[in-house]
Amino acid sequence: MKMKNTLFTLSALWVVGAQSAVATTIFESKDILTPQQALGRYQWLQTCYPSLLIELADQILDPTIPRSGEQKQEELKQVLLYKNNQLKSDAKYITFGDENGQNPQRWYAGKSPTDSCVSIPSDYAVSALMIASELPQYCAVASREKGYEFIKSVTVSDLANESGATFYSNYVGKAAKVYKDRSYQLALTPGFVNNEKYPETWHVFVDWNRDGDFSDTDETHFAGVSDSTVNYQLTPPAGTQPGLTKMRITMDYLGGSNDACKEIDSGEVEDYMFYIK
């Protein structure tokens, strides 16, 4: 199977320890694996598609160093999955999709070396290297009413997302790269169903310390009230932990709440991921 060049251009998160920097991404939320499952995915590929791993290794590892096929697979495994001989919490793994990086057939590779060797769809190829996640279960929340306004777009760091009207949207497959020592401009734009504008209240919640909730100091941000784009400076506080975490955005015509788990009245709730470095 021939790998697509898009593997190297989907985002700016980089595999460390390889001769060449290879882009990784988180774009298909239904294929987010834990580190142990990421290891299982690699072992499944070793069993079912070893030539694919060798081809990937040829594009990542230093080509001037001669290696056997088995050595290439083992070194690639170390680069993607391990640090100091320990399985990394942000282990990398391969995901698949069509020419647009999408998964219309809802096909997924194995998560264990004991999974059956099923055929990859003929129009699929390697779409990206994904980042493993062990996100906890956050509280569920949504809006009661979406018939008047909705979150039209969210932009922060290298993330830009546009969407339509829903009660709740789960965009954990879209991650923004964030450094702990930098501030970021967050642009929030409302959309209106009938072209009648209303002042919308925005709240932003980020689990900076990655403990599974939004209730700690500095994790609730009041971003403002406006019928047009709101720009808010988001600064990681002391105690921010590296790795994957969740950002929740709420927009509510009736004022919203500083409680990330409280249902809003009229607007929308959207969840995203931050990859904190």
What digits encode the pLDDT tens for the residues 213-225?
999 999 999 999 9
pLDDT score, position 221: 97
Distance between CA atoms of residues 97 and 130, nearest Å: 12
Residue 197, CB half-sphere, CA atoms under 13 Å: how many?
Answer: 8
Of 238, 257, 234, nearest to 247 by C-alpha is: 234
Q: In this predicted structure, what is the pLDDT of residue 63?
A: 87
Distance of CA 68 to the CA centre of its chain: 34
Q: Which residue has the higher pLDDT, 149 or 244?
A: 149
Coil, helix or strand for 124? coil
What are the residue boundaries of the structural domains of the chain, listed by start? 5-131, 143-276
pLDDT band at 90 (very low <50, low <70, confident <90, very high): confident
Quote the radius of gyration of the chain (alpha carbons, Å): 20
For domain 143-276, give the fold: Immunoglobulin-like (2.60.40)
Collapsed DSSP state (helix, strand, coil) of residue 87: strand
pLDDT band at 9 (very low <50, low <70, confident <90, very high): very low
Tokens 């793994």 correspond to what residue? 93
**pLDDT score of 68 more than 70:** yes
Please tell me the predicted confidence (pLDDT) of residue 135.
Answer: 72
Those residues whose C-beta lies under 8 Å from the C-beta of residue 238, and which sit 6 or more positions away, are none
Strand bridging mode 149-156 / 23-24: unpaired
Non-local (6+) Cβ contacts of 189 within 8 A are: 151, 152, 153, 154, 228, 229, 230
